[in-house]
Amino acid sequence: MKIAMIGTGYVGLVSGVCFSDFGHEVVCVDKNLDKLALLRAGKTPIFEPGLDQLMARNMAANRLSFTDDLKEATQGADTVFIAVGTPSRRGDGHADLSFVFGAVKEVAEVLTRPAVIVIKSTVPVGTNQKVADILKDVRPDLDCDVVSNPEFLREGAAIDDFMHPDRVVVGVQSDRGNEVMQEVYRPLSLRDYPVLTTDLETAEMIKYAANAFLATKVTFINEIAMLCERTGADVKDVANGMGFDSRIGPKFLQAGPGYGGSCFPKDTKALARIGQDNATPLQIVETVIKVNEEVKRLMIDKIVDLCDEKLQKKTIAVLGLTFKPDTDDMRDAPALTVVPALVGLGADVRVVDPQAFREAEAMLPNVTWFDDPYEAVDGADAVVLLTEWNEFRALDLREMASRMASARMADLRNMYSCDYALEAGFEAYLGMGRKSRLPLDG
């Protein structure tokens, strides 16, 4: 099949590359000429493990190409996927649908025959029906079908998620739309991966409900971590004890400095607004949003406690900036709350991250960048572990402690333990919901 993919952001690029690997002919469209030049040269504008190799393979096989010519890309296309951004609208938390509606209008104007228009972007309930109305208004002469096909890709594991999905959700309003989508995903259904077919509204809701539930699990365990610190319980053991229950499961029960990234923050806000607009406030979701922001701010208090209540002229090394490992995504990362606060309190902040520099340099002024964590802690008063990159999981803590002016660690991802850090020479250690030792504890 021929697929036109409108948008080469995270979702569009990963989806387009993977569809081409299924054997489909895929043309990806973007208006950013600099990005297109990069893609045509075989380079990816985002960091996603394995994506550049997969892209190069399918470009070489002539199944994958990139263009800014929308008419050329949609010529003869069986399906046109819309994969543009839906960021939170400033001020009210609603999803900004202007990019989606704009792309749909532009596509409608250049189509020469009926096609299945697939909304891959995350959109509120009712959006796909509005897309259908736009298509009828702009091109009443064409009988196009609209399909909702939300994505469930985890950054850092997106290719595996696409090729081995827990499920594929397809919302349709016609037999033709359903038949075309079954053919698009035939390589997955042949391997017995579930393809769930629903109506448009249900598919839209599944995406928001799934992300809000996962965000709730993250926030729940972070609150339990705070309670563990007060009571002497260990949150890692608590999470393990919960996770063995098959009704709960162990995923998303790792305590940390709050969720971030491209999905959870904007999708929880959008779902909360959908509830308010429909006179059905989602109190759990609204509380999750509030608590997540509080957790990020509490991380600052923990670091201040670690440094004797004073950060003025202290040197702090921060290891990890992206919202999670194996990505360069800085959207709503806890680092964007924590690091500026440390700088504002007078600290000299040094930062290390394997991939964040391109995205974070402008976001985090007044910090010093290092490539090597050991160099970053040289003469430092404290080290903060903020993202659980593999590079930070097996550090030589003894060497780190020996290099520091005062060996103190805020391990906000629980990569180590208090006993392990103290045995390595650290004088103080703070984790998340686990045994800790402050300088005054002796």
- Please report, for the domain that includes residue 394, its CATH number: 3.40.50.720
Question: What gap in Å lies between CA 213 and CA 284, rounded to an integer?
Answer: 10
Given 159, 175, 198, which residue is the final one in a domain? 198
pLDDT tens for each residue of the chain, 442 residues long? 999 999 999 999 999 999 999 999 999 999 999 999 999 999 999 999 999 999 999 999 999 999 999 999 999 999 999 999 999 888 788 899 999 999 999 999 999 999 999 999 999 999 999 999 999 999 999 999 999 999 999 999 999 999 999 999 999 999 999 999 999 999 999 999 999 999 999 999 999 999 999 999 999 999 999 999 999 999 999 999 999 999 999 999 999 999 999 899 999 999 999 999 999 999 999 999 999 999 999 999 999 999 999 999 999 999 999 999 999 999 999 999 999 999 999 999 999 999 999 999 999 999 999 999 999 999 999 999 999 999 999 999 999 999 999 999 999 999 999 999 999 999 999 999 999 998 876 5
Q: Do 274 and 285 fall into the same domain?
A: yes
Q: Do 135 and 211 fall into the same domain?
A: no
Catalytic residue status for 18: no
Given 154, 180, 198, which residue is the final one in a domain? 198
Q: Do 224 and 332 fall into the same domain?
A: yes
Q: Do 162 and 268 fall into the same domain?
A: no
Total of domains in the chain:
2
Given 154, 174, 198, which residue is the final one in a domain? 198
Got the DSSP string for 75-109? TT-SEEEE----PBPTTT--B--HHHHHHHHHHHH
Sheet order of strands, 382-385 included: 368-370, 348-352, 315-319, 382-385, 408-411, 428-430
Q: Do 208 and 70 fall into the same domain?
A: no
Q: Do 107 and 96 fall into the same domain?
A: yes
Question: What gap in Å lies between CA 226 and CA 238, rounded to an integer?
Answer: 12
CA distances from 143 to 73, 88, 117, 306 (A): 19, 32, 11, 64
Q: 318 φ, ψ to 5°?
A: -110, 120
What is the distance between the terminal CA atoms of the chain, rounded to a whole angstrom? 68
Exactly one of 18, 28, 263, 418 is catalytic; name it.
263
Q: Do 281 and 189 fall into the same domain?
A: no
Element (H, E) at 4: strand 2-6
Residue from 392, 337, 386, 389 nearest 363 by CA: 337
Residue from 408, 410, 442 nearest 425 by CA: 408
Q: Do 160 and 229 fall into the same domain?
A: no
Its sign, for the CA torsion 300, 154, 417, 406, is negative
Q: Do 159 and 287 fall into the same domain?
A: no
Q: Do 215 and 155 fall into the same domain?
A: no
Tokens of 348: 């000299």
Q: Do 123 and 205 fall into the same domain?
A: no
Question: Would you give the distance in Å from CA 199 to the centre of its chain?
Answer: 26
Question: What gap in Å lies between CA 204 and CA 215, rounded to an integer?
Answer: 17
Tokens of 139: 């091109």
- Residue labelled with tokens 């050991």: 374
Q: Do 184 and 296 fall into the same domain?
A: no
What count of other Cβ atoms lies within 10 Å of the Cβ of residue 417? 17
Q: Which domain holds residue 392?
A: 199-442
**Amino acid in the structure at residue 422:** L
